[in-house]
Chain A
Amino acid sequence: MNELVNELVNDSAPAETPVGAVGADIALELCALSKVYTLKRGMFKASGEIKAVNEVSLRLYRGETLGLVGESGCGKSTLAKILLGLLEPTAGNVLINGQEVDPTRRKDNARHIQPIFQDPYSSLNPRKTVAEIVGLPLQLHRIGSAAEQRKSVRTILDLVGMPERTYAQYPNQLSGGQRQRVAIARALILQPDILICDEPTSALDVSVQAQILNLLLDLKAEFGLTYLFISHDLGVVEHLVDRVAVMHKGSIVELETREKIFSDAQHPYTRMLLSSALTPEPGLGLGPDIPEPAFT
């Protein structure tokens, strides 16, 4: 069934994906990316600076899942917004499939990179039906005829496990898990290479979280997707990702394979994060009170 979607996308889209020799297996590359916000503190005071993202360099290899963990305010979401072209970086650049991203050509970028946001309650338009929401990217990109579009919308909704009776419903009639499935369907309809998952399960109940995580695993296997998985839940990260990048105050402080991070973390901040994660194991207690390590 996904041949159909494939066919649709390939038919009308000019072959834009550069398959250069350099970076053929790198899906996404971030080169010294920075985002600085300036603060005005009054007429006579010097304006301050906040480095939300500070010279971050990362590589996402094709087909891998990279976990990005850190506390709120560490710059995870700013980074995600830059990758999606929703924010312009102060310095540095982003390469998708080896080609530099032009922030003024958002539509082209959308073919390759798509988001799944944290809050399924605010990321779906309440005035459109499920089928309209999922079909909108096809309309915007003028892919296929109306009938073909309807067909691929059905295919993709079926794939994410939405029952047919919900296609004409509005988001407020759906449960949290179903809304997140719709968001995933919308992200996948253009057949992107990379999905940016910004805390996709943190607004969901645990039993539903497991359903969505299973769906993400299935889709990855089926489409060979590359995930950037942003989360603060270390249990989920450990289950899903191949490599972990730990972010603190705008910088990546540690980047390692999953096994190494969870067995032998080097950076004190990573260790503190790991010791604060509460897995359901009674008898372990809350652990010792570790003061926040000092950073320069």
Chain B
Amino acid sequence: MAEKLLEVKNLCVSFKTRKGIVRAVNNLSFSINHGEVLGIVGESGSGKSVSMSAVMGLIKDENAEITGEVIFNGEDLLKKSDEELRAIRGKDIAMVFQDPMTALTPVYTIGWHIREQLQLHSDISDKAAKERAIELLEEVGIPDPVKRVDQYPHEFSGGMRQRAIIAMALSLNPKLLIADEPTTALDVTIQAQILDLLERLRKTHNSSIIIITHDMGVVSELSSEVLVMYAGRMVERSTKSSLFAHPQHPYTKGLMNSVPRVDRARTSRLETISGQPASLLNLPSGCAFRTRCPSAHAACTEQPAFTADSNGYGAACFLLSKAGAP
């Protein structure tokens, strides 16, 4: 078995608020191997972004409490100082965010940004950095890179900016790229291009990708494995094909059913998941999904354990454990 690149064990991220303690991430455990693509799916508030911010050490709130283990390359990131993490951020783990329009300091050129990324972690000269920047821009498909490298972010369109940002993120060949809703702010047509780009780059740079999204379409394009989150917990984990073919958790089933499909009759109504997304301040006891679950029953007032098979795939639902492990 390949050595795991990133292993997250019992990650908990809670915030102290006036109204009580909010558990944005509750006992999250998963792992990702080299070269894999993991999709993390969930609604706003599910904890998907917060968990990855915690992995990168980007949570700066004094009211936050983070426990658990985040093992990357054999070391626990949660035990590292900010200085040590800075050496890792951008170099071994890179992150790309949702809105390319506001993601770069407007007063510096794209070339300057890429050069900064390179010079933060290596002793590269200005000239060499510029050459490397031009190479990278070409690699991500930006036309006329020699001219573009001296242009400012606002001179790039949304899609091109996101490409440049991805180029910058991959410039030091990080082993892991975390992409937080990278296509949400973009046109659907551009979305497909960006996802293709990510897939292509993954192969050439041999990096793993964690892609955070709420869009099932994005998940199906890119990932090999999928993790579904609800109210801060992982409720299901599976391979992509498995998830789409036989979703096991009622929440996942609801998500699948609410996506319009080409192969269904046009007159059939879209199914929705009843109720409101969970408020983290007011979670139901036991399984957080039970107030919206069509299959809820008496046992659901207790927190169901995550029943997993030997690969770690499974779901957190009493229905599963009743039927026995798959």
Are A and B co-members of a single complex? no
